[in-house]
Amino acid sequence: MGVGTGGTISGSARYLKEKNPDIQVLGIDTYGSIFKKYKETGEFDKNEIYPYITEGIGEDFLPQCVDFSLIDHFEKVTDRDAAIWTRKIAREEGIFVGNSAGAAMAGLVQMKDRFKEGDVVVVIFHDHGTRYLGKMFNDDWMRERGFLVEEKPTAGDLLKGKSLSLVSVEAEEPVYLAIERMRQHNIDQLPVFEDGKPVGTITDARLFDAILEDAEVRHQKARVVMGPALPVLKPEDKLEVVATRLGNGLPAVLVEQKNGFGILTKQDIIGKLK
């Protein structure tokens, strides 16, 4: 847990160690505070002191409440990590808590090598998230300090929620099948596959021209009317890569995933960016 006046940690540590002396008590400190160095060297080092953003923990003096003999280790956490974790707890756990809670979780993750499987870890969250609405929970405040982790989606993220089965046609299948599938699924481009690989694309513009010229083309193989294959991206490719490819006039891009190919169009990006 975070250490400010040291009241929480010293009181709970005294009680818990009475019950079980093997319980480890780990204090979270800030950069800019004297606790960690004092615990480790016994020296009150003024050079450790400088302003910091994290709230509620760390000190520039030695509060009488801190019983250093009960605290096994101090872990320092940066302002940035504390702020990022404050939001992460709300987003990932649905627990709306304050900035020293963020520091405690960030510190706990830093200390992961101290724990072995089966250990029970208890983290104390000191206060509620409502006190930080204008700070850690405010994107502008976070951005101004360089704390905002911009989470741009990847091609794989953009595919989430889309139907898994890609509508396509085999190069050897007849054109009328391609037309039927495009109508049935209300799509205006259809990837053409051969041996599990994309080899071309049929678009409604190509079909229109081909059928105007010769209506019998319906009974020919799909490869006769196909244009170049759509580019294949990786699921981890960033939004910028997808956007650049689609911005170059391509109707869609394919994404090769473990369970097969997915397709992304401009509409998929517009729909995801809110």
Ligand X SMILES: Cc1ncc(COP(=O)(O)O)c(C=O)c1O
Does 8 bind ligand X (CB under 6 A)? Our answer is yes
Binding status of residue 56 toward ligand X by CB under 6 A: yes
Please identify the residue of the shown chain whose CB is closest to the bound ligand X. Answer: 56
Q: What are phi and psi of 226, to 5 degrees?
A: -80, 150
Q: Are 126 and 2 in contact (CB under 8 A)?
A: yes
Q: How far is the CB of 139 from ligand X (least distance, A)?
A: 22
Burial 67-91 (b: 16+ CB within 10 A, else e): ebebbeebbbbbbbbbbbbbbbbbe
Q: Is 87 in the site for ligand X (CB under 6 A)?
A: no
Contact 1, 17 (CB under 8 A): no
Stretches 54-62, 81-89, 136-144, 168-176: which one binds ligand X (CB under 6 A)? 54-62
Contacts with ligand X by CB under 6 A: the residue count is 15
Q: Closer CB to ligand X, residue 8 or residue 78?
A: 8
| DSSP 8-state symbol, 263 | E
Residues 6+ apart with CB under 8 A from 196: none
| Beta carbon of residue 253, minimum distance to ligand X (angstroms, whole number) | 47
According to the binding rule CB under 6 A, does residue 57 interact with ligand X? Answer: yes
Sign of CA dihedral 259, 163, 160, 91: negative
Q: Which of 39, 126, 154, 246 binds ligand X (CB under 6 A)?
A: 126
Q: Is 4 in the site for ligand X (CB under 6 A)?
A: yes
Give the interface segment with ligand X, choosing from 5-13, 145-153, 218-226, 258-266 (CB under 6 A).
Answer: 5-13
Backbone φ and ψ for 188, nearest 5 degrees, come out as -110, 10
Residue 246 token pair: 């689609």
Residue with Cβ nearer ligand X (66 or 230):
66
Report the interface residues with ligand X, using CB under 6 A.
Answer: 2-9, 55-57, 98, 100, 126-127
